[in-house]
Structure 1
């Protein structure tokens, strides 16, 4: 079944001129990064090591109030330095290189799309790879957080660093949202993968697509299932591997 569907998706990809991908945490689970809301995910599995729920610790209010605890949780649960791209990341990079894929729109903060070779990546929720001093605005890479103890500080002024990720209570960057909306409205094939499509306002972007075929790749049901022209429930890496074979990439 999945082979037949993958072959059909490969045919659609071959016919498409403007592909856009919209993805969430499920895109990276096969790279060893847990998602949030599935069984065993960050929000569902519980964490006896920390006395606060993850949603609270990942809020801007908590970051301001208890930055030390925030960074302890952040380093242990949100950053996966050794993670490597999987077949879905590779497929998207190959489609961009072919000139067919216009943009990767991601809710992920792990940087794996860029590591796979994608260039036009619109990171709705930011990235763990970038950090900014709240005092002077100096920018730092991931090593400034991971190779420090306690609260990471600016080497220039001593100010506290904040990861360039969107915390609960913060707004998404307007320019990124606008670029994502433009890419979706211009697409003739939209791939949506690894997301429950319940987190707003990011999920509402999918509703802007009205340009052709919609392929939905997610293990569990989503609010957009009835709108999909093709629906996959298998692991994304398995699907991507079959599509890559059908396209002659492997």
Structure 2
């Protein structure tokens, strides 16, 4: 059977779908995967270190000015627009079939496409807080700063994104687990499932259909009901609702 037709039938027969997405969901919107080969090359050539080191908690503390240079240059894309994957998932939510989107991305594109039930495992560039007084700041407060963004109280404005060496928000993680445990279909797209603890979420799924949509193979392909090695946006754009 044609894989798109098979995916269509799985979606048609499902009533409790959860989508779990990674960087590949946003690459079709022009946002590069900073852990890709080109992303690593850029970070090494321009900043002298690996992406994982540059967005680590220790680097943020020890080299705050350099952290913000890299962060603003490589992780913020305010002009990026949702692609067909984001819009397809938003439509699926409106049909009441999709119950939640769990994302590793920090770009807010699911919300821009109209999705309401989005669990952001790694936070969002659109939320920023003073480390001292906890005052909220929007993205422009960070983008418009010349160097390190500071609050009116003098504290550093820190993005509400989960850096390497930092723990995930347990409330969001537990909600994600709860949604996955209740799902009859789990669609995983745009992720190679190698970044933990997020990748471990697949182990909580006990439903009927596990669908993996990713350009490259994953270590979980043998467990899936359906594997599609294509771009997530191109794939979901072919599904009719």
Q: Give the TM-score normalised by structure 2.
A: 0.96
Q: 1:45 to 1:7 in 2, by over 3 A?
A: farther
Aligned to 1:242: 238
Determine if contact 1:43/1:55 at 8 Å carries over to the other structure.
no
Which residue among 215, 220, 225 is the counterpart of 2:216?
220
Deviations 1:53-103 (A, max 9, x none): 221110111101111000000000000011000010001111111111110
Q: C-alpha distance in 2, partners of 1:148/1:214?
A: 44
Alignment of 1:153-172 (within 5 A): 153-155=150-152, 157-172=153-168
State yes or no: 1:205 paired with 2:201. yes
Q: C-alpha distance in 2, partners of 1:211/1:99?
A: 18
Q: 1:126 to 1:82 in 2, by over 3 A?
A: same
Give the CA deviation at 1:44: 5.3
Aligned to 2:17: 19
Alignment of 1:174-213 (within 5 A): 174-213=170-209
Aligned to 1:126: 123
Q: C-alpha distance in 2, partners of 1:69/1:39?
A: 21
Q: C-alpha distance in 2, partners of 1:6/1:138?
A: 47
Deviations 1:152-172 (A, max 9, x none): 0113x1210110000011000
Determine if contact 2:131/2:158 at 8 Å carries over to the other structure.
yes
TM superposition outliers: structure 1 runs of 4+ over 6 Å: none
Give the CA deviation at 1:17: 0.6
Q: C-alpha distance in 2, partners of 1:75/1:45?
A: 14
Q: C-alpha distance in 1, partners of 2:49/2:190?
A: 26
- The number of equivalent residue pairs is 241
Give the CA deviation at 1:46: 4.9
State yes or no: 1:76 paired with 2:60. no
Structure 2 stretches lacking a partner, 5+ long? none
Which residue among 135, 144, 147 is the counterpart of 2:144?
147
Greater Cα shift, 96-105 or 50-59: 50-59
Aligned to 1:31: 29
Pairwise CA RMSD = 1.3
Q: C-alpha distance in 2, partners of 1:20/1:222?
A: 19
Q: 1:72 to 1:45 in 2, by over 3 A?
A: closer
Q: C-alpha distance in 2, partners of 1:123/1:43?
A: 24
Q: C-alpha distance in 1, partners of 2:80/2:183?
A: 30
SS at match of 1:28: helix
Q: C-alpha distance in 2, partners of 1:36/1:8?
A: 32
Q: Give the TM-score normalised by structure 1.
A: 0.93
